[in-house]
A and B are shown apart, each in its own frame.
Chain A
Amino acid sequence: MDDIVRMEHVTFTYPATDVKESFNALNDLTLSIEKGSFVAVIGQNGSGKSTMAKLVNALLLPGEGTVWVNGYDTRDEAHLWDVRQSAGMVFQNPDNQIVSSIVEDDVAFGPENLGVEPAEIRRRVDEALEAVGMTAFRKNAPHLLSGGQKQRIAIAGAIAMRPQCIVFDEPTAMLDPKGRKEVMRIIRQLHAEGITCILITHFMEEAAQADRIVILNDGRIYMDGTPREIFTDRDSLMALGLDVPMAVDLSYQLHDLGVDLPAGIVEEEELIEALCPSK
């Protein structure tokens, strides 16, 4: 059994406030994430995506059920730092997660907290900055960088802790298209290097790049499968008010108009290939 994250019958309830009644963000959720996989989690606002992300990092603890990360129960305080070291986290707002006013000092923040030896921190910081292609900016002030660059710094900060798994909580939501592409390229690269990536996103094109898509609705798993399995079931997605990637949508519409297309087209390239074969 090689699961990096295992959630068993997890229920999480946000307590009532003055303006809101208490509600269950997650309802009896059971989910396993295999080591080295790339899983996209999608769902509407309030579907429990972000809550799930925070449970993986022990920023929230399950009300009922158990979350296992890298073999540690997240409720076990003795292993709290092991859990957080194993599962790094990148948040949505690039500005609010950068601690230091110098890029390389920020990347060093995590390893410093872990009490790593200074020479080793130096090595990790250099490697992490290299991995996200930000070495040239290591002495810069983060607030002068673009959103995409800041998000890459945040990713480097997570990498420097040598996690086995990184949870990306809508990392591209506040970026321009260029920044979004940069961040996605790095996520794919990290996955190729063997880090488990959990990507929470609103963008179907991004989710399509994962090995597996989990769709949450009302704190439960609504669909779970490969991008191909998920996107070919367009009606279920539409029922939730979710979009499908452009290529899928277009091939459906063409199909309805009587164009003969193979089923299960997800990527733009596949559609192009199906419409105008290159040979």
Chain B
Amino acid sequence: MIRDITLGQYYPGDSILHRLDPRIKILATLAYIILLFIVNEWIGFAACFVFLAVEVALSKVPLSYILRGLKVIFLVILFTFVLNLFMYDGEVLVRIWKLTITDQGLKRALFMAGRLILLIISSSILTFTTTPIQLTNGLERLMKPLSKIGVPSHEIAMMMSIALRFIPTLLDETDKIMKAQQARGADFESGNILHRAKQMIPILVPLFISAFRIAQDMALAMEARCYHGGQGRTSMTEMRFRRRDYITAVILLLFAAGIITLRVLI
């Protein structure tokens, strides 16, 4: 089950989006998310949808792969939808007992759910088309000005990339520990939630111990390869804005200007 999570995974490819500078992709995703919350009319929403649809098509990541990531948070979307549905005054469409669905409520609910879906797809496009290393490198560069005021930008980026690297390793480790305990009669599947949560404690303890052991090994291996923090460190992948990055920036600015104009005008 855990392996189904496509959210935050890299999808190897060589599309134009894969080749864009990670910095521009991070900024574009952030800008897009902000724009999603600025939009409040159908037309703007449609524009956001089309923009993302073009992005998905350009990324060459299969749609089914992208939608699989949505499955995990389906409940969150549903919850948001239902909550918004009953929360607004307006022309009553349906009345169920004391709850009413108004035209405003329906619109808001659709907007909110739509926003969430677009938000998740747009951020997954970022992670699908950007390797974790590029992502952290990009973040590191973007945060660099902050290191002047004492933010350890290199260390944060390094921690993130190692955390990403170890997700699969720790999942394997968890699986191993669970199997070892199941082999000795542990039961993780029956009982109520509280009972099952209690059953997890014997997994967490060995998992923590092994996480520390891994961390120690890792630190040693990194030191053996001359790691000594960000000072004097170079990077194999040079980050240079190319023509395609400037074009992307221009398109993005036009798009943002359009959305904001719409919001102001309508």
Q: How many residue pairs, one in A and one in B, have C-beta atoms under 8 Å apart?
A: 104
Interface of A is mostly: helix
Q: How far is the CB of B76 from chain A (nearest CB, A)?
A: 27
Q: Is B165 part of the binding interface, using a Cβ–Cβ cutoff of 8 Å?
A: yes
Bound state CA distance, A122 and B227, in angstroms? Answer: 18
Q: Kindly list chain A residues whose C-beta atoms are within 8 Å of the C-beta of B218.
A: 96-97, 99
B229 (CB) vs chain A CBs: closest residue: A113
Q: Is A109 part of the binding interface, using a Cβ–Cβ cutoff of 8 Å?
A: yes
Residue A95 contacts which of B169, B224, B237 (CB distance < 8 angstroms)? B169
Q: Kindly list chain B residues whose C-beta atoms are within 8 Å of the C-beta of A142.
A: 165
Q: Is A12 part of the binding interface, using a Cβ–Cβ cutoff of 8 Å?
A: no
Bound state CA distance, A141 and B161, in angstroms? Answer: 13
Instruction: Please tell me which stretch of A80-88, A175-183, A225-233, A268-276 contacts chain B, meaning at least 4 of its Cβ atoms lie within 8 angstroms of it.
Output: A80-88
- Of residues 227 through 262 on chain B, the ones whose CB sits less than 8 Å from some CB of chain A are 227-228, 232-238
**Does A93 contact B217, Cβ atoms closer than 8 Å?**
yes
Q: How far is the CB of A128 from chain B (nearest CB, A)?
A: 12
Residue B169 contacts which of A117, A122, A125, A143 (CB distance < 8 angstroms)? A143
Q: Is B132 part of the binding interface, using a Cβ–Cβ cutoff of 8 Å?
A: yes
**Does A122 contact B162, Cβ atoms closer than 8 Å?**
no
Bound state CA distance, A191 and B162, in angstroms? Answer: 32
**Does B235 contact A161, Cβ atoms closer than 8 Å?**
no
**Does A112 contact B233, Cβ atoms closer than 8 Å?**
yes
B169 (CB) vs chain A CBs: closest residue: A95
Bound state CA distance, A112 and B235, in angstroms? Answer: 5
Residue A84 contacts which of B131, B169, B226, B236 (CB distance < 8 angstroms)? B226
The 5 closest A-B pairs by CB, nearest first: A97-B221, A96-B217, A108-B236, A143-B168, A110-B225
**13 chain-A/chain-B pairs, Cβ below 8 angstroms:** A84-B223, A85-B226, A88-B224, A95-B169, A100-B161, A101-B164, A105-B236, A109-B222, A113-B233, A117-B234, A118-B235, A121-B236, A125-B236
